[in-house]
Chains A and B, each alone.
Chain A
Amino acid sequence: MSSAAWGTAARPQPGGPVVEARALTFAYGEQPPVFDGFSWAVHAGESWCVIGPSGCGKSTLLYLVAGLRQPRAGAILVDGQPVPRPRATTGLVLQDYGLLPWSTVWENVALVMRMGRFYRNKRERGAGPRPYPRPDIAAEQVDRWLARLGIAEVRDKYPAQISGGQRQRTAIARSLLQQPDLLLMDEPFSSLDALTREDLQRLTVELRQETGVTTIVVTHIIEEAAYLGQRILVLGRPPNTHARIVENPGAGDVAYRGQPAFWQKCAELRELLAGL
């Protein structure tokens, strides 16, 4: 099977946004809308952070992009197309890891490979990208990602037997095995201790440099947003009607944390958030 057979049917013109919110409106049930006519665009290779107070809708935005929620009005387009269901080339890393408790670290990562084989004979319906994972992922790739994420020695342990940092590394390895063109992370390091968190933030920057994957990280931690997000979307109290963007070109360098520009950016974000 050539890799072209699994390519996308109608690719948008190159240079178009990878993620686009067009006059997006979304509300939970009868509650007031979280987003109302909200527009925003993410371009290929960009590294975004979304920050804001609790309940501002930052996780909701990520779930909309992931295809786990559907807009009330307007549209969310990923790669130029709506996302009525999750697509296999969007990686999703959640705060509570989302690992299968009955599978070992290796099996959890290899789930992507098994899923691809499970849906091997499934034909795509209609236009749009094949929603299933690639069927041609090899076990060696699983081993390679385990080694890269530094969790090869716990490969046969169950999630309950390893540390939070190792669990999140497992979840990241699993996402990267999908060969994603878009990586979404929802408060990925919020339940980890400070040192482990900084460790994984540095790893995220390195992995981004290695893969060039477009990333959107949702966080409530100012330092995390300033360290990871070259562009930072600041959401306020709902409804969010327009995108408030803070440019942060210094991010993406592992040494950024030690630089004065980093602390200035943190102060700027703090001031902005306090004024919301």
Chain B
Amino acid sequence: MRRRDLAAATLVLILLWQLASWLVRSEVLPGPWAVGQALVAALPRGLARHFVVSLWRVVAGILISMLLATPAGLVLGQSRALDRIFAPMVYIVYPIPKIVFLPVILLLLGIGDTSKIFIIFLILFFQILVVVRDQASALRPELLYSVRSLGAGRRGLFRFVYLPATVPAALTALRVSIGTAIAVLFFTETFATTSGLGYYIIVDSWGRLAYADMYAGVVAMSLLGLLLYFVVDRLERRLAPWMFVRE
């Protein structure tokens, strides 16, 4: 996507926001200008810190899930025997909304960063696991035969076929599930904590009816999502340029 198109889209969204704000004519929906001012003012007064805390939690969750789910998916995708054992388990657990385990996780892991990172991990882990496994098991046998006949053993196949075939898939899964991860993060930050954007939006701003500040938090959270989305998108293009070429 071109930079100019993105800028135009941003402009249109801001204009729509301004229009809505004029139509509603309530302090519950301040215009983009007021929110922009609030955002600039709030950044040094704690919003920046909350942003960094949220960013850390979600990035930690992403990294741990990538590091564990990619190899696990690769193993399941390569080994029919293991997949036969684990597939039913994954099949049952995958569609369960992991957020329902939050009370248990809070009891077990406490109210600190660990429980928040863990719940993000739990959500992303299954998304990435399933995609990587499917990708690994869908590799054409002819491709594997060819590379094996070049002298590749198990390690060589892993390094030259399975890894490059599945990392882009893991990134795609990640890009798609970043929205969910941040939504869950927001939810976990709205209670039993004193830091993070969720806390800032709900407890700090909404609680004291500071609407402009609240929207500043919403904008910050949106920026967090956009930032991660763009980073993953860039990584995908960098690591899998072949997926973006035209014939």
Contact = CB atoms under 8 A, between A and B. Distances in A.
Interface of A: 63, 66-68, 85-88, 90-92, 94-103, 111-112, 114-116, 118-119, 131-133, 158, 160-161, 171, 174, 178
A96 B140 contact: yes
Interface string B141-165: 0110111111111011001110011
Contacts of A90: 149
B224 to A, nearest CB: 31
A102 to B, nearest CB: 5
A160 B240 CA distance: 14
Interface of B: 140, 142-143, 145-153, 155-156, 159-161, 164-165, 168, 240, 242-243, 245-247
Contacts of A116: 151
Nearest to B239: A102
A115 B242 CA distance: 21
Contacts of B142: 94-98
Contacts of B165: 102
A88 B149 CA distance: 6
A112 B145 CA distance: 14
A158 B242 contact: yes
Contact of A86 (B143, B149, B164): B149
Contacts of A98: 140, 142-143, 145-147
Given A96-B142, A100-B143, A115 B151 contact: yes
Contact of A161 (B146, B164, B247): B247
Contacts of B160: 100, 111, 114-115, 118
A95 B145 CA distance: 12
17 contacts: A67-B149, A85-B148, A86-B149, A86-B150, A94-B146, A96-B142, A97-B142, A98-B145, A98-B146, A98-B147, A100-B147, A100-B161, A102-B165, A102-B240, A111-B147, A118-B160, A132-B151
Contacts of A101: 242
A118 B156 contact: yes
B187 to A, nearest CB: 37
Contacts of A174: 150
A160 B242 contact: yes
Closest CB pairs A-B (n = 6) = A98-B146, A88-B151, A92-B149, A86-B149, A133-B151, A102-B242
A98 B146 CA distance: 5
A111 B148 CA distance: 12
A102 B151 contact: no
A116 B156 CA distance: 10
